Amino acid sequence: MSIPGLGQIPVQTLTSSTTRTVTLRPAWEWRFQVPFDRTVVVKVRSGTAEKDGVELAPGNAYSFSGVVSKVLSWHGCELVVEGRCSEDSVAEFDLHSSSPGAVPGTRAGAKNPAMSHVNFHARLTEMRRGAATRTGPRVLVAGPPASGKSCLVRTLASYATRQGYEPIVVNADPGEGMLSLPGSLSASVFASVMDPEAVDGWGPTPTSGPSVVPVKLPLVYCFGHRSAEDDADFYKVLTSKLASTVSGRLSEDEAVRKSGLIVDTMGAGDSNIDLLAHVVDELSVNIIVVLGDAAVQAQLAKRFATERTSLDEPIHVVGLDRPDGVVKRDETYLERAREQAIKEYFYGDGRKALSPQIQQVDFDALVIYKPSDATPHEPGRLLKHDPSSVMEHWTLAIMYASVKDPPEVVRVAAVMGYVYVSNVDENRRKIKLLAPVGGRLGDRPLILGTWPEPYMNLLG
């Protein structure tokens, strides 16, 4: 008997390609792109290599699909690559040289920009070691879109966990989810390795099922929009709520307090500098890293030149080299990635299949809210919304709240999980929902946001 919707997950088979060896010298990178309909398997035959700071185990087969990424080797390695990439190349760098010695138009003699990231990590390690009685470094990574912010955040978090630290990672960009679906803000303690094979690079969540990579337990809030500017006032309210919970964890857990936090953000520009500044203030950020944008760096440096954190520390604004070779992901890729994230939330990825539950519920058994036009006095305003056919193929957030709670309480509650609307029968007043686990849905209010947008029918 087939499981409804399981056929929506493509069987990922290797295309007709040969197995080849990629040789990396110290500080070199292998950069690769794999479409969603292909799989490439990579093994480290000899030497050492890492992806986003996660060390790849020698001889272990890592499968990649739908990724734009790179493998870096600090000491040199040989990779065995099986499968066909849409694009791949080897970037050659000099481990000890500086870029002024480079020949124009080539990388010969150039230093890998990742060196500045390693040096920055070393500085953070010194600060963590000195945080016996105070909070460790609180780092916010800013920069223009497609500047490698998320990659740097994952790398810094990975390096920290490899040294035994347990930083909190905060995602303040609603456009892309971290351990959750897009449209959310989230935070999680990272005390163990991430999953290098994951499309988003973060790894499994409690709904992902059994995993060889330790599951992370994120705190998630529903923003429900693609961009922070779509409801700036409510974005401030929600980041303040998130910051309050994060601050509580920092004060209660000594290991986490010493490790500090790392914040990923949306693309910086003139339109959202005030929102970035709000995140800095609420999370008591004391180090702002700007990737490859002197104008944004100067703007933030001027903004925080005389300000201090809630712990009475100066706020340092530093520029780091933008990761070399960052590829701008087009809207088609981003849409496919969001689609894949939703599918995997309910059905698992190619490595493991999940069996979500289908429920048919009466309209009257559910309480569904939808964001309305916000006012200065009511940011994130919610209105009750009757089920209708326009909801089909949307995801709804299940809130940690009671159906009896007022909308202003529901709006800032944490997210318990998500359900997918498969079908709405307005004549029979029935709605068919797909949930990752069984259980009654009428006990919790649901929120229908404007993001992520609806996709094809997961149930076929």
Could you report the per-residue pLDDT of 174-184, keeping only the tens digit for each? 999 999 999 99
CA dist., res. 235 & res. 449, Å (int): 14
- Asked if pLDDT for residue 376 goes beyond 80, the answer is no
pLDDT of residue 12: 38
Spatial strand order in the sheet of 430-435? 357-362, 430-435, 415-425, 395-399, 446-448, 368-371, 382-384
- Asked if pLDDT for residue 380 goes beyond 80, the answer is no
CA dist., res. 295 & res. 5, Å (int): 48
Show the tokens assigned to 162: 């490899």
CA dist., res. 436 & res. 346, Å (int): 5
- Asked if pLDDT for residue 195 goes beyond 60, the answer is yes
Could you report the per-residue pLDDT of 389-447, keeping only the tens digit for each? 999 999 999 999 999 999 999 999 999 999 999 999 999 999 999 998 877 777 899 99
- Asked if pLDDT for residue 8 goes beyond 50, the answer is no
CA torsion 35-36-37-38 (nearest 10°) is 60
- Pick out the residues of the known binding site for ATP: 29
pLDDT of residue 322: 85
- Asked if pLDDT for residue 55 goes beyond 90, the answer is yes
Q: How many CB atoms lie within 10 A of CB 313?
A: 16
Q: How many residues does the chain have?
A: 460
pLDDT of residue 375: 57
pLDDT of residue 26: 96
Question: What φ, ψ does residue 284 adopt, rounded to 5°?
Answer: 50, 45
Which of 111-125, 246-260, 338-352 shows the lowest mean pLDDT across its residues? 338-352
Show the tokens assigned to 54: 């996660």
- Asked if pLDDT for residue 142 goes beyond 60, the answer is yes
Could you report the per-residue pLDDT of 354-363, keeping only the tens digit for each? 888 999 999 9
Mean pLDDT of 112-127: 95
pLDDT above 90: percentage of residues in the chain: 68
DSSP string spanning 29-94?
EEEEEE-TT--EEEEEEEE--EETTEEPPBT--EEE-SEEEEEE-SS-EEEEEES--SEEEEE---
Q: Is 188 helix (H, G, I), strand (E, B) or coil?
A: strand
Closest CA to 367 of 437, 414, 431: 431
**CA 357 to chain CA mean position, Å:** 26
Using an 8 Å Cβ cutoff, are 369 and 445 in contact? Answer: yes
- Asked if pLDDT for residue 294 goes beyond 70, the answer is yes
Angle at 388 between CA 425 and CA 392, to 5 degrees: 80
Amino acid at 280: V
pLDDT of residue 97: 56
- Pick out the residues of the known binding site: 29
Q: Is 339 helix (H, G, I), strand (E, B) or coil?
A: helix
CA torsion 277-279-280-284 (nearest 10°) is 150
pLDDT of residue 455: 66
Closest CA to 344 of 246, 172, 209: 209
Higher pLDDT, 416 or 94: 416
pLDDT of residue 211: 66
pTM of structure = 0.90
Using an 8 Å Cβ cutoff, are 180 and 205 in contact? Answer: yes
> Average pLDDT of the chain?
88
Using an 8 Å Cβ cutoff, are 34 and 63 in contact? Answer: no
Q: Is 421 helix (H, G, I), strand (E, B) or coil?
A: strand
Domains delineated in the chain = 19-91 (2.60.120.1030), 113-320 (3.40.50.300), 356-448 (2.40.30.330)
pLDDT band at 10 (very low <50, low <70, confident <90, very high): very low
pLDDT of residue 284: 97
Closest CA to 137 of 276, 318, 301, 296: 318
Q: What helix, strand, coil percent values describe the chain, rounded to 5?
A: 25, 25, 50
pLDDT of residue 283: 98
